[in-house]
């Protein structure tokens, strides 16, 4: 069932109504409501995972872009009307953002910009598929070769009894300027830990919003408490990668997650 707001037939023309309903019917035919249900279940079960909020936003963004493409593909002449309907929908009555993403403001500009693009050509798509298959085969070959090398090494190979553990991880402070500008990001750190469990070095592997969250992430990682890795029953130096997600929920409260 598709639920529309009050005065839907008065606020939108017949053509605009038809485009909105076609968009929602496309969601239904494609099974997006089931996919969203699975997403909600995953967010409930894996609520602690630092990358899940970012992945959920990307999933919903791509879902809306794909639905726009399916809706407008049979009628490319209506792209202008479709874009104006998206803009007009921002000015009418509010809708429930948890179940309807037609008015997704953060990606509105990108959705309208994508309407200008023509249908992709077959050659780049085929080339991309060949590249993905080639990468998968290459990674599989490397993994198989490394496994064979490990087996050939025999019983003399040292056994890692325990990886590095982090006992206490107080979350980093959210930068004031980033909070005021509603900036979010993910920082991946490489933390080197010596055999005594002390931090010897902290480096930034990647950052989705460079120059904003690196400093507070490094400061937090240096203050955490670590247990060194154990190899053959003895503590040894090692390194661990730690992703830190800086995100805000719908009520603009800061959520800081470290894993």
Model pLDDT, residue 98:
46
pLDDT for the residue 38: 92
Q: For residues 21, 23, 24 and 28, what is the CA-based torsion angle, rounded to 10 degrees?
A: 130
Instruction: Look at residue 3 and tell me whether its pLDDT is greater than 50.
Output: yes
Give whole-number Cα distances, 112 to 28, 101, 104, 141, in Å. 22, 14, 12, 42
Q: What's the whole-number mean pLDDT along residues 48-70?
A: 87
Q: Is the pLDDT of residue 259 over 50?
A: no
Residues 224-252 have pLDDT tens digits of 989 888 888 888 998 999 999 988 775 54
- Residue with the bigger pLDDT between 14 and 160: it is 14
Domain with CATH 3.30.2420.10 in the chain: 160-258
On whether the CB atoms of residues 160 and 229 are closer than 8 A, the answer is yes
pLDDT of residue 13: 85
Question: In the predicted model, what is the mean pLDDT of the chain?
Answer: 79
C-alpha Rg value of the chain to the nearest Å: 24
For residue 73, give the DSSP letter: T
Query: For 76-90, 136-150, 244-258, which range has the lowest pLDDT when averaged over its residues?
Result: 244-258
pLDDT tens figures, 87-119: 777 666 555 454 455 545 556 777 777 777 665
Supply the pLDDT for residue 20. Answer: 83
Tell me the CATH number of domain 160-258, given options 3.20.20.140, 3.40.190.10, 3.50.50.60, 3.30.2420.10: 3.30.2420.10
52-66, 76-90, 136-150: range with highest mean pLDDT: 52-66
Does the pLDDT value for residue 19 go beyond 90? no
At residue 18's C-alpha, the angle toward residues 12 and 21, to 5°, is 100
């Amino acid at each position: 069932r598709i639920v529309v707001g009050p005065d839907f037939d008065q606020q939108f023309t017949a053509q605009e109504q038809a485009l909105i309903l076609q968009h929602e019917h496309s969601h239904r035919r494609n099974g997006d409501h089931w996919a969203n249900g699975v997403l909600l279940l995953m967010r409930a079960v894996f609520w602690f995972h630092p990358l899940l909020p970012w992945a959920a936003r990307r999933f919903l963004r791509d879902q809306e872009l794909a639905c726009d493409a399916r809706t407008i593909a049979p009628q490319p002449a209506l792209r202008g009307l479709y874009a104006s309907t998206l803009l007009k929908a921002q000015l009418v009555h509010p809708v429930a953002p948890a179940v309807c993403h037609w008015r997704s403001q953060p990606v509105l500009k990108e959705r309208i910009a994508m309407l200008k693009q023509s249908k992709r050509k077959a050659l780049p798509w085929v080339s991309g598929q060949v590249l993905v298959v080639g990468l998968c085969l290459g990674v599989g070959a490397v993994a198989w070769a490394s496994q064979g090398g490990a087996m050939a090494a025999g019983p003399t190979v040292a056994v890692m009894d325990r990886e590095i553990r982090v006992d206490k991880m107080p979350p980093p402070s959210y930068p004031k300027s980033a909070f005021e500008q509603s900036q979010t990001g993910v920082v991946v750190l490489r933390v080197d830990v010596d055999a005594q469990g002390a931090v010897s070095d902290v480096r930034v592997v990647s950052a989705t919003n460079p120059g904003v969250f690196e400093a507070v992430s490094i400061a937090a990682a240096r203050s955490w408490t670590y247990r060194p890795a154990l190899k053959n029953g003895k503590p040894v130096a090692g390194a661990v990668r730690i992703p830190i997600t800086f995100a805000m929920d719908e009520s603009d409260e800061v959520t800081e997650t470290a894993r």
